[in-house]
Amino acid sequence: MSVTQVNDVFYIDQFDGNAHIRGTLHLTLTHIFFLGLSRKQEIWVLPNQLISSVERLPLTTGGAPLIIRGKDFRVIRLVVLKERDCHDVYSTLTQLLRVAHVSALPCYQFVPPDCYWSREEGWSTFSLKSQYNRFGLPNYFWSLTNVNKNFEICDTYPPVLYVPSMVSKNILYGSSRFRSRGRFPVLTYLHPNGKLYVEVVNHWLVFHRNQPKTRYF
């Protein structure tokens, strides 16, 4: 982010064009807000996801106008005293609106202060095999498979899965071809008694018949 705080910003009330509130504009990865100097309170708050567009107007004697239009039909009119600060705010908001990669999203940018492990290690924190063995049940109806290694079949399933023991890899491959995004039935919950379970089975794909006009007797 080019800038996170800009002082000497005037907020023009959309209902009263003559009302100019002086304050400080704050920009974060998740939202922007305006803090008035007179009462030391937030005048308005706008999440970044609700920003529709940002527009710069020609420079005036009072400063550099900036209009922020929200997806909730809000129109925020600001006047920044310094043109350089207005350009930095415009550039920062444009970057927040146009995320080039998923790693630039706020959920991946935030790092807790007491975080002692890297983000890459987070993928291996949860072990599916250890969680299954934690039940302590001699259940032979389910088996561990790496048929989805490197997300070869389904990109929304983890690489390691539990499937019915009697199902072969060929059946899993064939089943994935007839379901949306290559998803096949997998175990998602197993009751401690070892007999009750919940499977995820995605909907079937829609196919066209070879003979559209078929007579039914």
Q: Does residue 46 sit in the same domain as residue 140?
A: no
Q: Does residue 77 sit in the same domain as residue 167?
A: no
Q: Does residue 89 sit in the same domain as residue 39?
A: yes
C-beta atoms surrounding 35 within 10 Å: 19
Instruction: Establish if 209 belongs to a structural domain.
Output: no
Percent share of the chain, pLDDT over 90: 19
Instruction: Establish if 121 belongs to a structural domain.
Output: no
Phi/psi of residue 91, nearest 5 degrees = -65, -40
Q: Does residue 48 sit in the same domain as residue 20?
A: yes
Q: Report residue 191's pLDDT band, with 50, 70 and 90 as the boundaries.
A: confident
Cβ 54 vs Cβ 94: under 8 Å: yes
Residues 6 or more apart whose Cβ sits within 8 Å of residue 136: none
pLDDT the model gives residue 107: 76
Question: How many domains, in total, are found in the chain?
Answer: 2
Cβ 25 vs Cβ 78: under 8 Å: yes
Residue with tokens 């002086």: 22
Q: In terms of pLDDT, which residue wins out, 101 or 209?
A: 101
Note the pLDDT tens digit of each residue in 98-153: 877 777 777 777 777 777 777 677 777 778 788 778 777 667 778 888 888 888 88
Q: What is the DSSP letter of 204?
A: B
pLDDT the model gives residue 209: 52
Instruction: Establish if 207 belongs to a structural domain.
Output: no
Q: Does residue 99 sit in the same domain as residue 37?
A: yes
pLDDT the model gives residue 216: 33
What range defines the domain where residue 63 resides?
A: 4-108
Instruction: Establish if 212 belongs to a structural domain.
Output: no
Q: Does residue 171 sit in the same domain as residue 90?
A: no
Q: Does residue 87 sit in the same domain as residue 46?
A: yes
Note the pLDDT tens digit of each residue in 159-185: 888 888 888 888 888 888 877 778 877
Instruction: Establish if 154 belongs to a structural domain.
Output: yes
Cα–Cα nearest to 1, from 22, 24, 32: 32
Do you know the residue count of the chain? 217
Q: Does residue 88 sit in the same domain as residue 30?
A: yes
Q: Report residue 39's pLDDT band, with 50, 70 and 90 as the boundaries.
A: low
Q: What is the mean pLDDT of the chain?
A: 80
Instruction: Establish if 216 belongs to a structural domain.
Output: no
Q: Looking at residue 41, which CATH number applies to its domain?
A: 2.30.29.30
Instruction: Establish if 206 belongs to a structural domain.
Output: no
Q: Does residue 133 sit in the same domain as residue 92?
A: no
Q: Does residue 24 sit in the same domain as residue 93?
A: yes
Instruction: Summarize the confidence of residues 44-50 as an average pLDDT.
Output: 88
Q: Does residue 138 sit in the same domain as residue 46?
A: no
Q: Does residue 141 sit in the same domain as residue 70?
A: no
Q: Report residue 65's pLDDT band, with 50, 70 and 90 as the boundaries.
A: very high
Strand partners, 35: 24, 42
- Is the Cα dihedral 12, 13, 15, 18 positive or negative? negative
Instruction: Establish if 118 belongs to a structural domain.
Output: no
Scanning the chain, the segments in alpha helix (DSSP H) are 83-97, 106-109, 128-133, 169-176
